[in-house]
Structure 1
Amino acid sequence: MQRFQQNIVIVSGFLLLGMLCACKKLVTIPDPINTISTGQVFSSEKQANSAMVGVYSKMINGSDYLSIGSVGQRSFAAGLSTILGGLSSDELFSYYGTDQQSYYGVNINKLTIYNSDRPWEIWYSAYDAIYGANSVIEGIADSRSVTLKDSVRKALTGEAKFVRAFSYFYLVNFFGDVPLALTVDFNKTAHLSRAPQSEVYQQILQDLKDAAAGLPAAYPTATGERTRPNKYAALALLARVYLYTDDYNNAAATATMVIDNVADYTLETDLDNVFRTNSKEAIWQLQQALTDFTIKDGTPEGFVMQPNTLKIGLAAYCLTPSMLATFEPGDQRLPKWVDSTDNSLGTGTSTGVTYFPAKYKIGKANGTPGMPPREYYMALRLAEVYLIRAEAAANGAAGGTATAIADLNIIRNRAGVPALPASLNKEQTLAAVAKERKTELFAEWGHRWFDLKRTKQMHDVLSAIPLKQPWIGDFQALYPLPVPEINTNHFLIQNTGY
């Protein structure tokens, strides 16, 4: 947590950054000042609110050491989780192959401590977000301002705990046991050892329960956009974590709370609208900055995934043949969410038609500087919640396989593929869940990589892929910890195999 530790001595600086980076569309930001104490930051609703918005801004737009154009490949919350999870699993391959060593080791599942700079960015960016969340939690708790209303304190603390839980979810799934930093106090975090995954999950669960209790049901933005988490965002993530920890009854019950809120959430009937700013399927989205002429009005992930020139440019991260073969005949997710490019037309090389994720339509080639965004970065959406309930029900939660099949058919009907028969047994239903998660959630936040690991399918699926031969060991299910962190904190022990 070297970068995390460095941040601890500049708490005031980060919170000022939060106010300077916060998007004016969401809140009214106080005029910038040169120095500010933590007490001043949390002395009013406007200032405390802008500090929280600064945390989101850093997650999606990156830190001052990153350009906005590169943040999709450098931040866990801007596209890196999708890229690395896709390359590690059977979803994506890197077009540049050995010419792009930062990703090739991930793609062939042969990471070492010498080629893990991109996986380490997951660690650094997630701990940056955790630091920001801890700053807000402690700043609000320490504030004695009478102008900071209890309702605001409760809601912002809930948002910060949600972000902390969200960030730890990705850390624990990429790295396993990780240090559990719950304060910005350097004396308490400088020499933390790794907490067991079970302990980290318990903290995630507690943070999400607290967030669900403290957050309002309505979204806190003036426009009603879903770029700040509400109670249902906390419940959706809580349902996911219950599923990952095999608590199927709570996973199903919590997912149902979200699904039953039909006034706010419905599946988009048109797949082209799912990832747009006004999507009724969205539960939580991150709002990108609109101040960069490189990324224009697109999302960082859309910028990274799309070729420079549509139809003839190079797509850096391409869908594997096995991923493409997963789509059934007539599945509208294939033509709607996948695009292709013949890079031979642009480069003069031999024919090279490749397919790339196109859930985000705005990228390098078609973005428009200064335009209102047409897409935000989707972090949580309703389709996943249906799939959570389906898997939980198939594993014995309320409704059993009948509920699971019904939920799967809701997703399949939207995609234009035939309904599954009601006669499926448990094993067949679980296989259908896995297949539907692969086709619905492909190239989103590493879902496929995490699914293969938690369902113990990783070895059988990945060790048979030619690109990943020879298979050097299942220890590659976890990424290596950053060596600079271990050199700084000798209480950290490297993952086995590295």
Structure 2
Amino acid sequence: MQRYKRNIVIASGCLLLGMLCACKKLVTVPDPINTISTGQVFSSEKQANSAMVAIYSKMINGTDMTAIGNIASNSFAAGLSTILGGLSSDELYYYSGTANQSYYGVNTNKLTIYNSDKPWAIWFSAYDAIYGANSVIEGLADAKGLKDSVRLALTGEAKFARAFSYFYLVNFFGEVPLALTVDFNQTAHLPRASKDQVYSQVLKDLKDAAATMPAAYPTGSATERTRPNKYAALAMLARVYLYMGDYNNAAASATEVINNAADYRLETDPDNVFLTGSREAIWQLQQALTDFTIKNATPEGFVMRPVVLKVGIAQFCLTPSLLAAFEKDDLRFKKWTDSTDNSLGTGTSPGVTYYPLKYKISSANGVPGMPPQEYYMVLRLAEMYLIRAEAAANGAGGDGQAIADLNVIRKRAGLNDLPASLSKEQVLDAVAKERRTELFAEWGHRWFDLKRTNKMNAVLSATPLKQPWLGDYQALYPVPVPEISVNHFLTQNPGY
């Protein structure tokens, strides 16, 4: 376990110590063990389930329970994908400018290998989740006494977690090492796998997950969706197919989720979308409630909102171009954004700034130890309509189907229907616009959309904050230099 991390997940000597200590917390078992793949770890269904829960806990809460308040800045699955994706695109800007060189470098298209600690945190945290998933997969294979149905379901769940993590790695970094085991001898000197190879493995894992995970949530509650089920795997399949240009399969997978009306429906009020018990949720992550700084807020809700509402500083602000993308009377602007006149508190410009308000609970109004009102949304039904609309506009259903799906989303936003007379180009533009205004400040969607639709250069090279435009090479983040230093088979992304 520890040998594997030395070459796949370690950034520095200090990080090594922290991650090795955290590694021991991956699974809680009665007796000490040397490796998670020991059959003893999964000698009961309860222990096997605890292993999976621990992976999700690390993704959203980190490994240091005294530093939960900082986790959104350090984990791809706790807010960092949203922050960096927003800063890289035309969605967010960093209020404090050069105060944090890594955020500033991302935001202004001036990343180097010397100011990339935040992008590198995506790498480390995603590989940490992959390591945990691989450990569970191998541990289940060696386990004695588990029912085959339990073994299959949990193996599928671990494959889902691995596929999910690799999806973010390949979209932030491009070619990445494809580690499918905890065996140090196989992972010590892995080269970067091609994007096609990574996507092929992601598809394989998600198909396995969809085939073996139950439709019921492992939490035992239809409204407690803090562990993924079969439909979460189908939702990720829909997204991956869309990214790969396989529009027929993207539409089919999205439709399978949409058609499960017994479990999933759009919340009629945008204020209810991100709550615990949201019927729109396909998968959410559950935050810890033990930190007196973050209280019972989600990490992203904590970091996005000002400490002092209405007059405090919002560090991650919505860009003027995003604000201009909302139509008049769009409920998403009214209910999912807020503003603060920070000049009242600081005496400095720019005064009124807008910030994301999808999560309402922060340190300003949270209560430590109290039941959470919100979980951290990972996958939700609205994205499935948008995926099917884009797939339909690209031949998997036709413009009529695309417009119908877009109008479902627009209706919830309080907007008029799009006319049926739109041309294909207008439909595709409408898809992009609705994705931008529906999925803003969620998991880097805008950044990935600009890249996969080949619009990054046209949009960002004209964005004032990113001038002078230094080149399209920053569509990918730099591979962590400490990783290259311990694995000479790794290469750096061009331009760095």
**With structure 2 as the length reference, what TM-score do the two structures score?**
0.95
Residue 19 of structure 1: how far off its partner (Å): 3.5
Q: 1:401-422: per-residue Cα shift (whole Å, max 9, x none)? A: 0000000000000001111000
| Structure 1 residues 16-415: aligned runs within 5 Å | 17-20=25-28, 32-35=30-33, 38-64=38-64, 67-143=67-143, 145-146=144-145, 148-224=146-222, 225-350=224-349, 352-397=351-396, 399-415=397-413
**Residue 86 of structure 1 contacts residue 92 of structure 1 at CA under 8 Å; is this kept in 2?**
yes
**Residue 8 of structure 1 contacts residue 185 of structure 1 at CA under 8 Å; is this kept in 2?**
no
Q: Name the SS for the 1:355 alignment partner.
A: strand
Q: 1:375-430: per-residue Cα shift (whole Å, max 9, x none)? A: 00000000000000000000000x21000000000000000111100011111100
**Residue 5 of structure 1 contacts residue 190 of structure 1 at CA under 8 Å; is this kept in 2?**
no
Q: Name the SS for the 2:26 alignment partner.
A: helix
Q: Name the SS for the 2:118 alignment partner.
A: helix
**In the aligned structure 2, how far is the partner of 1:15 from the partner of 1:491?**
25
**Residue 318 of structure 1 contacts residue 355 of structure 1 at CA under 8 Å; is this kept in 2?**
yes
Q: 1:430 to 1:483 in 2, by over 3 A?
A: same
Q: Name the SS for the 2:325 alignment partner.
A: coil
How many residue pairs get aligned? The number is 485
Residue 364 of structure 1: how far off its partner (Å): 1.7
Counterpart among 427, 430, 437 of residue 429 in structure 1: 427
Q: 1:12 to 1:467 in 2, by over 3 A?
A: closer
**In the aligned structure 2, how far is the partner of 1:3 from the partner of 1:64?**
22
Q: Which amino acid aligns with 2:351?
A: G
**In the aligned structure 1, how far is the partner of 2:66 from the partner of 2:475?**
28
Q: Which amino acid aligns with 2:202?
A: I
**In the aligned structure 2, how far is the partner of 1:234 from the partner of 1:364?**
33
**In the aligned structure 2, how far is the partner of 1:202 from the partner of 1:119?**
24
Counterpart among 457, 481, 484 of residue 483 in structure 1: 481
Residue 261 of structure 1: how far off its partner (Å): 0.2
Q: Name the SS for the 2:284 alignment partner.
A: strand
Q: Which amino acid aligns with 2:344?
A: L
Bigger Cα displacement from structure 2, 344-353 vs 214-223: 344-353
Residue 4 of structure 1: how far off its partner (Å): 3.5
Bigger Cα displacement from structure 2, 192-201 vs 58-67: 58-67
**In the aligned structure 1, how far is the partner of 2:416 from the partner of 2:151?**
49
Q: Unaligned regions of 5+ residues in structure 1, if any?
A: 21-29
Q: Which amino acid aligns with 1:452?
A: L
Residue 208 of structure 1: how far off its partner (Å): 0.2
- Give % identity: 73
**With structure 1 as the length reference, what TM-score do the two structures score?**
0.94
**In the aligned structure 1, how far is the partner of 2:203 from the partner of 2:359?**
31
**Residue 3 of structure 1 contacts residue 124 of structure 1 at CA under 8 Å; is this kept in 2?**
no
**In the aligned structure 2, how far is the partner of 1:155 from the partner of 1:293?**
36
**Residue 140 of structure 2 contacts residue 151 of structure 2 at CA under 8 Å; is this kept in 1?**
yes
Counterpart among 458, 461, 480 of residue 460 in structure 1: 458
Q: 1:126 to 1:411 in 2, by over 3 A?
A: same
Match of 1:27 in 2: none
Q: Which amino acid aligns with 2:481?
A: V
CA RMSD of aligned residues (A): 1.9
